Amino acid sequence: MTIGTNSECDVKQAMQSIEGALSRWNRKEAEAIHGMPFNDLLFLAQTIHRQNFDRNRVQLSRLLSIKTGGCPEDCGYCSQSTHYETGLKASKLMEVERVIAEAMKARDAGATRYCMGAAWRSPKERDMGSVVAMIEGVKALGMETCMTLGMLDLSQAQRLKAAGLDYYNHNIDTSERYYGEVVSTRTFADRLETLGHVREVGMKVCCGGIVGMGEEKADRIDMLVTLANLPEPPESVPINMLIPIEGTPLAEAEPIDPIDFVRTIALARIMMPKSYVRLSAGRTAMSDETQALCFFAGANSIFVGDMLLTADNPGEDKDNRLFRRLGIEPMPREAR
């Protein structure tokens, strides 16, 4: 695939090149698209989005922390790491009945996917029974299920699949080059290994990353190239804007420019046209206008509710007001 840069590349040429591309991307191709004039980039992303999704519907997901804090990993952005003094106290694994009750509230409020996260390096055998019961209980409510529990071995992935888990979330966070600047307690290859186990057992993959951690533009592009070049691109791609947490190494990271963030969303949509691109953490710091541009650039999934694990999230009233202003409607389950 050959794509020019800026004025050398119009939308029609880019579309023809993308349609005729092989399944694998390289940074040069992705960088050329990322560097298109902003209006052309968004028009291209929206054109591809309309070919694959309803242009005015957004999927609503709810995320619940089923086990908070006490994580032995040293991810430099995370309030739940034991390596940093963030004021967050560790909790035990939540009771199954409470998780299902919270999922029922989320379903009744319009969420179609329920995501459950535990601050673990990997699940322990003693907790797997409760995790399986949570999956089965949420599935019985008619919702899609997603979990993020850290690294998985193959047998753990098989148990989660047998319980009916639809999606497993395991973000790669950033580019392979920059990864070591953010995390040292597990490798980039460890992340890919868990994703391989998830795919091997037939579960869907939810995998994205975080931007605004001090990385370069090339790192954001390389992260998306890695995701698009997986044996199958993730069905769900969360793009998170860093929420600086006091006490973590990234507390003073310079925020990403909003236009650069929108460009990242657009590139994700173009490179992974059939994936849900989720506008995830950091929405409380985004203006309505930035979020609107993200939806135009191809974002079609958000987390709803007041909390996102341990961080603030725009409340449902604020999201509903924005949706009304934009003419966006929640995506019903049967439309997915």
Active-site residue, selected from the candidate residues 62, 186, 191, 278: 278
Q: Which of 159, 135, 157 is nearest to 146 (CA)?
A: 135
Active-site residue, selected from the candidate residues 9, 75, 207, 294: 75
Active-site residue, selected from the candidate residues 9, 62, 78, 186: 78
In the chain, DSSP finds a helix count (H) and a strand count (E) of 12, 12
Active-site residue, selected from the candidate residues 62, 107, 146, 283: 146
Q: Which of 112, 125, 74 is nearest to 247 (CA)?
A: 74
Distance of CA 167 to the CA centre of its chain: 12
Q: Which of 164, 225, 234, 239 is nearest to 206 (CA)?
A: 234
207 is catalytic: no
| Tokens coding 79 | 């309030």
Q: Which of 331, 324, 319, 310 is nearest to 286 (CA)?
A: 319
Active-site residue, selected from the candidate residues 9, 62, 113, 115: 115
Tokens 């650069």 label which residue?
260
Active-site residue, selected from the candidate residues 71, 113, 191, 283: 71
Tokens 């699940």 label which residue?
123
CA-derived radius of gyration, the chain: 19
Q: With beta carbons less than 8 A apart as the criterion, state whether 270 and 241 touch.
A: no
Q: Indicate the Cα dihedral angle 231, 170, 78, 241, nearest 10°.
A: 60
146 is catalytic: yes
294 is catalytic: no
Active-site residue, selected from the candidate residues 107, 113, 159, 206: 206
Give the residue numbers marked as catalytic: 71, 75, 78, 115, 146, 206, 278
